Amino acid sequence: MLATLNLHWLHSIPQWEFCLIVIATFVAVAVGGQMAMRPFLRRWFGDKDHNDLVGLYLSAFGVLYGITLGLISVGAWENYGDVESKVSAEAAAVASLYRNADTYPEPKRTALTGLLRTYTRQLIDVAWPEMQRGVVPRGGHPLILGFQKALVSFEPKTEGQKALHSESLYRFNQVVEARRLRVDCVEGRLPTILWVVVLAGSFMSFVLTWLLVVENRLLHDVLTAIMAVLLALLIFFLVTLDLPFQGQHSVGPDSFELIYNQVMVSHP
C-alpha cells in the first residue's frame, strides 16, 4: 500500500517533476483504460441508452467522492499547519531557556549556553536534513541529557537564583516535550486505509466515465483526461502535505535559524 512503500524518493526530485509524474500516470490510466475498454463496454452495455443513468450515478459519486477528498485534504493541511506550530513553539521554548541560562552565574552560564548553542546548531545542520530524508533524528538526545545534567547539578544560593532555577527547569521540560512532539511528526502520515479510499475512488471515477457512450471519441478522451488531471493535482497536493518535513515545500528550520542568529550569536 502507498503508506507502507518507501516514497521518500518522490520528495527528493523537483516538485514540478513529481507533479508531472502523477499527472502522466493518472492520464495514462484513465485515457488508456478508456481506449482499451471501449469496444468491450459497448458490446456489453450497448450504445447511448444508458448514458442518462450513468450520468446520474457519476454526479452522485462525484459529490460523495469530492466531499471525502475535500475533508482529507483539509485534514492534511491542518496537520501541516500544526507541525509548523509545533516547530515554532519548540524554537520559542529553546530561546526562553537560553535567556534563562544566560543569567546564571559563571561558570554555569558558559556551560549551559554553550550546550544550547551546540544543540541548536546540531538540530539545524544534522537533525533537519535527517528529517527531510524521513529519518527520525537521534543525535540531539545526548545533548539534551548533557544539558539536563548540567542544569540539575546547579545549587541555587539566593531566592533570586531559586526562582530562576525553577523557571529554567520548567522551560527545559517545555523544550523536551516540544522536541518529542516534533520527532513524532517525522513518521506521521495519512493512514493506509485513507490512501486506499482515495485511490480506489479515483479509479472508480474513471470507470464511470468509461461507461459513457460518446460518438466523438476524441472529445470523450479529452474530457476524461481533464478529470484525470484534476484528480492527479489533488493527489499531488495530498502527497506533498502528507510528509511535512520532506519536499521543497516542507517545514524548515527557519525558526531555529532565527533564534540562533538573533538570540544566541548576538548574545553569546
Over residues 162-208, the pLDDT tens digits come to: 999 999 999 999 999 999 999 888 877 778 888 888 999 999 999 88
Domain of 68?
A: 12-265
Count of the separate structural domains present in the chain: 1
**73 falls within a domain:** yes
**178 falls within a domain:** yes
Max avg pLDDT among 36-50, 90-104, 134-148: 90-104
**2 falls within a domain:** no
Encode burial over 117-137: b for 16+ CB neighbours within 10 A, e otherwise: bebbebbbeebbeebbebeeb
Percent of the chain as helix, strand, coil, to the nearest 5: 80, 0, 20
* Selected residue with higher pLDDT from 2 and 238: 238
**42 falls within a domain:** yes
**5 falls within a domain:** no
The SS3 of residue 73 is helix
Query: Quick one: average pLDDT of 154-160?
Result: 88
pTM for this entry: 0.78
On the 0-12 / 13-18 / 19+ scale of CB atoms within 10 A, 229 is middle
The SS3 of residue 119 is helix
Q: How confident is the model at residue 3 (pLDDT cuts 50, 70, 90)?
A: very low
Task: Write down the pLDDT at residue 12.
Answer: 66
**183 falls within a domain:** yes
**7 falls within a domain:** no
**257 falls within a domain:** yes
Whether the predicted pLDDT of 124 surpasses 90: yes
Task: Write down the pLDDT at residue 232.
Answer: 94
